Structure formats: C-alpha cells, structure tokens
Amino acid sequence: MTFKAEYIWIDGTEPTAKLRSKTRILADGAELPLWGFDGSSTNQAKGHSSDCVLKPVYSCPDPIRGGEGDVLVLCEVLNTDLTPHESNTRAELAEVAERFAAQEPVFGIEQEYTFFEGDRPLGFPVGGFPAPQGGYYCGVGVDEIHGRDVVEAHLENCLRAGLGISGINAEVMPGQWEFQVGPLPALTVADQLWIARWLLYRTAEDFGVAATLDPKPVKGDWNGAGAHTNFSTKAMREGPEGYAAIITACESLGEGSKPLDHVKNYGAGIDDRLTGLHETAPWNEYSYGVSDRGASVRIPWQVEKDGKGYIEDRRPNANVDPYVVTRLMVDTCCAALEK
Ligand code: ADP
Ligand code: MN
Ligand code: MN
Ligand code: MN
Ligand code: MN
C-alpha cells in the first residue's frame, strides 16, 4: 500500500515569497526522501542549471486528504551540493535558535489575513464600500461577518494536522480574520505558521475564495493586516526578575540601528501599514509601552501586573517571513539578555 506526501516549500518570488507544493506517492513505511523541483519556474534557479533540492524538515497528518498515512511535508530548499539555497531563511534561524537555546525563547504569532472574492474583499459590495469600521472586530451576524465557514474549516484542518493553533478572531475590516499559532519555540512556530498558511490557501480554494497576506489590502481608512509577534524567554516568564528582563528586551529592540534592521525585514510594504494610524506606530519611530496599541512593542497589562510574561512586537506585516522575524528577535533580545 501507499500514502500521499504533499511536499511544501517556500519559493523565491520577490518581494514576498509564495508557497508551492507537489505530491509524491510513497510506499507504506517509507522514509520521507530528499526530492527536487524545477527552480527556474519558482525564481530559484536559471534555466541552464535549474534543479533545486527539497529536504523534509517538518511533517504532520494531511487533514485535506485525510487518508491513513497521508502527510504534509514542509521542506527546506537546498542547492544540489546540499548547502542551503539563498532563498532558504530557515537554515539561518536554526543556527541562531541553537545558539540561544538555553534561554528557552518562545513565540506566539498572530496571523492576520483577508479573504477576496474576485477583486473585492469578502463583504465589500460591488462598486462601493461597506459601513465604516467599528462593528466587525469579533462580530457576529451576517451584517458583520464574512467567511466564517472558511475560517472554521481552516481551524479544524489546523487542529487535525496537530498544529499548535491557539485561537481565531474576526478582525477590524470586513473579510479580515486572524489566527494565532503558539506559544512554541522559534523553529516550530515558524514551521507551523507556514503549514497553517498553506492550509488557509488550500481550505479557501474549496470555498472559491482567495486568502491574502497583503499588509494593506484596501487603501484609506481601513486597517492593514499584521503578524504581531509575541515573545518571551525563560527569564522574562519567571519572576522575580521577569519584569527587568522584559524591559531589557524592549530596550534592546530600540538600540542603535536595531529598529530599522528589524522593520526593513518585517515584510514588504511595511511603510504602507505602519503609518501611526489604525493601531500602529510609525515605521521610523521605535517605542514601547504598557497596554499601548500605538507603540511598536506592547507590554500587555497583565504582564505588568504579574511582573513577568511576554512582549508583543506589533510591527511585523502579515506577509512577514516567520523564520526572519523570530531570528531577528532572538538575535537582538537574547544577546542583550545574555549580558
Ligand atoms: P492580542 O490581544 O494582541 O490580540 P492574541 O490573544 O491574539 O493577543 O495573541 C497573543 C499571543 O501571545 C498568542 O499566540 C499566545 O499564544 C501568545 N503568548 C502567550 N503567552 C506567551 C509567552 N509567554 N510567550 C510568547 N507568546 C505568548
Ligand atoms: Mn515536468
Ligand atoms: Mn490578536
Ligand atoms: Mn489582530
Ligand atoms: Mn496583537
């Protein structure tokens, strides 16, 4: 007998990479082998030397096919000499995560996204706009909610895949939603977020709608889509020095060139979203504060009260590469906390 393995990888599309996948039939009991693909069709190679290698790094049950043994297989892209391909941001995170493993960093990422039907966000009337923002966030009822059937199916698929999805909610703009993955270690949260994104596109396909991570899908007075990245280390989570560690982490993100180093790697189009309006801080001004949804980094009120917990970097765009944002945060905050 056989099973179906859906090999999933991140391509080389600029400025925002896309997910690709293809299916391999394997004999029951077979290990997941290295595989290959045509890199000239994914912006990962030139035509005259187009082979790229797929190396399985994370696999889970496939809730779409659902057959016994069917799996989703997230892969790193390698060159034919088995070194990491230049589009492979996971390999670099693996090194940094390893270096700071003793601090036990964990992340919870809030993935916002928007459904589209044709060229309109789901719930936007033909040739016009819906009522202004106000009633949609965590709303209920047909006047406010668009796409809940897709969202519920996606949630169920993530759970059946065994992902650490921790919640969902309707967002501020009609057709806009969020799911959260974590808290989990950096590599795991990022691997699972990529799988959850693939499942989002794949689930929405069956409903005839598209999901997009476009950080500013509608110009004007409509919220953008972000990927708030919640972060803690063991020292931040545990008292009595927890709050001092939290302040050290917040300060480290504001030092020298760090604000710009981070923001320019937090997803294409970040200056369109981080305008200072719509619950964002301006992209070129770093700030942190308790309960402050207009700051770059927020310390939740409960965390201040408990004197320990985590911080929320509110800057990453919905289209951020989770391997990159987690690497930057570990690199900056854990280096400062080590001192
Ligand atoms: P918000 O109020 O910003 O909308 P959410 O509930 O959407 O918050 O998301 C908060 C995220 O923070 C969740 O993904 C949760 O798993 C994560 N989280 C909770 N505790 C920690 C922690 N100690 N370290 C890192 N992430 C955490
Ligand atoms: Mn072919
Ligand atoms: Mn949230
Ligand atoms: Mn949100
Ligand atoms: Mn948030």
pLDDT for 9-26, tens place per residue?
999 999 999 999 999 999
Q: Is the omega angle on the peptide bond into residue 56 within 30 degrees of 0, that is, cis?
A: no
Give the whole-angstrom CA distance, residue 187 versus residue 198: 17
Res. 133: pLDDT tops 90: no
Could you tell me the pLDDT band of residue 134, with boundaries at 50, 70 and 90?
confident
Whether the CB-CB separation of 246 and 336 falls below 8 Å is answered with no
Percent of the chain past pLDDT 70, that is, above it, reads 100
Which CB contacts under 8 angstroms, 24+ apart, belong to 202-205?
202/64, 202/157, 203/64, 203/150, 203/153, 203/154, 203/157, 204/115, 204/150, 204/154
Whether the CB-CB separation of 89 and 22 falls below 8 Å is answered with no
Mean residue pLDDT across the chain: 96
Give the whole-angstrom CA distance, residue 194 versus residue 200: 10
Residue 171 beta carbon below 6 angstroms from any ligand 1 atom: no
Residue 232 beta carbon below 6 angstroms from any ligand 1 atom: yes
Query: Other C-beta atoms within 10 Å of 152: how many?
Result: 12
CA of residue 54 to ligand 5 center, whole Å:
34
Amino acid at 35: W
Atom of ligand 1 nearest to the CA of 314: 3
Across the strands, what pairs with 169? 178
Could you tell me the pLDDT band of residue 80, with boundaries at 50, 70 and 90?
very high
DSSP string for 271-335: HHH-SS-SS---TT---EEET-TTSSEEE-HHHHHHT---EEE---BTT--HHHHHHHHIIIIIH
Residue 202 beta carbon below 6 angstroms from any ligand 1 atom: no
CA of residue 1 to ligand 4 center, whole Å:
44
Q: Ligand 1, from 181, 230, 303: best to mutate by most atoms within 8 Å of Cβ? A: 230
What is the pLDDT averaged over residues 40-49? Answer: 87
Q: What is the pLDDT of residues 95-117, one digit of tens each?
A: 999 999 999 999 999 999 999 99
CA of residue 37 to ligand 2 center, whole Å:
9
Ligand nearest to the CA of 237: 1
Could you tell me the pLDDT band of residue 67, with boundaries at 50, 70 and 90?
confident
Res. 222: pLDDT tops 90: yes
Burial letters 86-107, b for 16+ CB under 10 A, else e: ebbbbbebbebbeebeebebbb
What pLDDT score does 231 carry?
A: 98
CA of residue 88 to ligand 5 center, whole Å:
27
Residue with the two structure tokens 């049950």: 61
Q: What is the pLDDT of residues 313-328, one digit of tens each?
A: 999 999 999 999 999 9
Give the whole-angstrom CA distance, residue 288 versus residue 63: 40
What pLDDT score does 246 carry?
A: 98
Could you tell me the pLDDT band of residue 47, with boundaries at 50, 70 and 90?
confident
Residue with the two structure tokens 């500013």: 216
Indicate which residue's Cα is closest to atom 4 of ligand 1: 110
Indicate which residue's Cα is closest to atom 12 of ligand 1: 108
CA of residue 330 to ligand 1 center, whole Å:
17
CA of residue 80 to ligand 1 center, whole Å:
39
Atom of ligand 1 nearest to the CA of 181: 14
CA of residue 20 to ligand 2 center, whole Å:
15
Percent of the chain past pLDDT 90, that is, above it, reads 93
CA of residue 63 to ligand 2 center, whole Å:
27
Residue 177 beta carbon below 6 angstroms from any ligand 1 atom: no
- Of 268, 167, 265, which is closest to residue 212 (Cα–Cα)? 268
Indicate which residue's Cα is closest to atom 9 of ligand 1: 110
Q: What is the pLDDT of residues 159-208, one digit of tens each?
A: 999 999 999 999 999 999 999 999 999 999 999 999 999 999 999 999 99
Residue 182 beta carbon below 6 angstroms from any ligand 1 atom: yes
Could you tell me the pLDDT band of residue 48, with boundaries at 50, 70 and 90?
confident
Ligand nearest to the CA of 167: 1
